[in-house]
Amino acid sequence: MLYDAEARKAASEAYPELGLDKLDVELGFYEGAMGSGNIAPSPSTLKAALKIAEDPASIWRSVILKVLAPNVGPAAFNDRVKWIEETPEAFEDALLEVDRRQAEDGRILLIVFDALDVLATDWDSIRTLTRGLARLALEMSARKAIRIKMFMRHDQFEDMRRKTFADFSKLRTAAVALTWEPEDLYGVLFTRIWRDNSARPVLAQLGKELQLQLDLSKSDLPELIKVSPSHQEALFATIAGEFMGTNKKRGRTYTWMPKHLADAHGETSLRSFLIALKEAADRSSSAIETAIDHVGINAGVLKASDTRLEELREDHPWVDDALNALSGLTVPCAESDVTELWRAAGTVDLIVSHTNDARPAAPIQLDAPEFATVPEKALLAALIDLAVIERRSAEKVNVPDIFRVAARIKRRGGIAPRPKR
């Protein structure tokens, strides 16, 4: 959204207090970056640069210099890295000049670094590059009108915290977790319904029955429906029914959905939420009184679990090997039940053997010295960091439904896992 000028303009109009209209945005790295004429280097370019750079931060100074002053220094990436290390004042001069100019114009130059988990195909290189970028981001925080924004996975951030550098606490203080609260999820749902010209009158009528005055002439959904859980819950009950069954024993639909779509950190992705609702709507029929019901919502969670696990496999191919060994397990269970299944199946060796350029990046934790004699515990720590497994009291662990049902892991009284095909 930040890089897309149209999306940034729309967000600026919706949230004028953020000052998004004053941003000039460039991409310093993103998934699919190809280097060459682009500002963002490719992973292969970064790999080559690591071999010649004395300081990994110099690699990112080279990227930023291309943003600040494209015609300053050598054109070839590695030559520019070496040149910056030999003549650091050239980078500093360009930085100060652009910072002064942006400040005078009342503009902020924002350089975005996204998808830091694909900087390289091995964690040692990813770590080195990420820490170099983080140190540079800390240096840049002293500038008036130039900022660096980094998007990284939770497990990467935690790894950087464990293997930190001086003043990392300052970056940690500035970090913001990107999460969707339940009221945010339902706010998106009702906003999408409201913006559909054929659906808006129906939503307004449902609101009227609840003594909620929704003005059909307004293009924007009333703020109350965007942010108020009590009003959202009442409105959602008219669409999906109040309970996940005939009574409150199975839970209320409004709270049940985000809870059963959440990972071990208690976070629900918007994508999972919308996939579950779409599946529930697709399964609707004239036999039910509401637009969707608890049966459709259950099916929606199964669909969302399939999709979420597939996304996880794409980002972390090793997760497949780890979860396959747990198929048929019933949770909650003892940590030792999980690690013993992995030990018996030789899962850690399997993951290591599958790690190559085509299937990169075994979990970071396998490199940690504290797990050298018990690598299965490293695997457990990795899945806990990814929010696939949650640790409970008395050395018990659980797998949230969003991963459990697609991985064919059982839970007493829970949604039945996806059957084998």
* Cβ neighbours, 10 Å, residue 349: 12
Question: Does residue 328 share a domain with residue 261?
Answer: no
The separation between CA 379 and the C-alpha centre of its own chain, rounded to angstroms, equals 20
- Look at residue 100 and give its three-state secondary structure: helix
Look at residue 341 in the predicted model and tell me its pLDDT: 98
Question: What are the beta bridge partners of residue 146?
Answer: 109
166 lies in some domain: yes
> Of 174, 206, 241, at which residue does a domain stop?
174
249 lies in some domain: yes
> Of 174, 197, 224, at which residue does a domain stop?
174
The rounded distance, in Å, linking the Cα atoms of 358 and 151 is 23
Question: Does residue 299 share a domain with residue 189?
Answer: yes
61-89 b/e (C-beta count within 10 Å ≥ 16 → b): bbbbbbbbbeeebeeebbebbbbbbeeee
The rounded distance, in Å, linking the Cα atoms of 86 and 70 is 18
- Look at residue 109 and give its three-state secondary structure: strand
Question: What are the beta bridge partners of residue 334?
Answer: 396
Question: Does residue 166 share a domain with residue 36?
Answer: yes
Question: Does residue 36 share a domain with residue 108?
Answer: yes
Sheet strands side by side (includes 396-398): 333-334, 396-398, 390-391
420 lies in some domain: no
Look at residue 223 in the predicted model and tell me its pLDDT: 86
Question: Does residue 324 share a domain with residue 189?
Answer: no
Question: Does residue 209 share a domain with residue 160?
Answer: no
Question: Does residue 337 share a domain with residue 189?
Answer: no
Question: Does residue 162 share a domain with residue 192?
Answer: no
Question: Does residue 85 share a domain with residue 30?
Answer: yes
77 lies in some domain: yes
Q: What is the domain count for the chain?
A: 3
Look at residue 171 in the predicted model and tell me its pLDDT: 76
Specify the length of the chain in residues: 421
- Look at residue 396 and give its three-state secondary structure: strand
Question: Does residue 199 share a domain with residue 121?
Answer: no
The rounded distance, in Å, linking the Cα atoms of 138 and 140 is 5
Hey, what are 47's tokens?
Answer: 């790999």
Spatial CA neighbour of 318 closest among 301, 344, 342, 334: 342
- Domain residues for 82? 5-174
> Of 174, 198, 229, at which residue does a domain stop?
174
- Look at residue 328 and give its three-state secondary structure: coil
418 lies in some domain: no
Look at residue 162 in the predicted model and tell me its pLDDT: 65
Sign of CA dihedral 194, 198, 201, 205: negative
Question: What are the beta bridge partners of residue 396?
Answer: 334
Look at residue 221 in the predicted model and tell me its pLDDT: 87
Spatial CA neighbour of 308 closest among 279, 281, 333, 275: 275
| CB proximity list for 375: less than 8 A, separation 6 or greater | 348, 366
Q: What share of the chain is helix, strand, coil (3-state, %, to 5)?
A: 55, 5, 35
Per-residue pLDDT of the chain (421 residues; tens, 9 = 90+): 688 888 888 888 878 898 999 999 999 999 887 765 679 999 999 999 999 999 999 999 999 999 999 999 999 999 999 999 999 999 999 999 999 999 999 999 999 999 898 898 777 888 899 999 999 999 898 999 999 999 988 777 877 766 666 667 777 778 888 889 999 999 999 999 999 999 999 999 999 999 988 888 888 888 889 999 999 999 999 999 999 988 888 899 999 999 999 999 999 999 999 999 999 999 998 889 999 999 999 999 999 999 999 988 887 889 999 999 999 999 999 999 999 999 999 999 999 888 765 555 678 778 777 888 899 999 999 999 899 999 987 789 999 999 999 999 999 878 878 666 5
| CB proximity list for 316: less than 8 A, separation 6 or greater | 361, 363, 386
Look at residue 393 in the predicted model and tell me its pLDDT: 79
Long-range contacts of 410-413 (CB under 8 A, 24+ apart): 410/328, 410/329, 410/330, 410/331, 411/330, 411/331, 411/332, 412/330
Q: Cα-Cα-Cα-Cα dihedral of 371, 376, 381, 385, to 10°?
A: 130
- Helix intervals (H) in 262-363: 270-282, 294-315, 318-324, 335-345, 347-354
Burial of residue 328, with CB atoms counted within 10 A of its CB: 0-12 exposed, 13-18 middle, 19 or more buried = exposed
Question: Does residue 223 share a domain with residue 194?
Answer: yes
Look at residue 272 in the predicted model and tell me its pLDDT: 96
Question: Does residue 207 share a domain with residue 162?
Answer: no
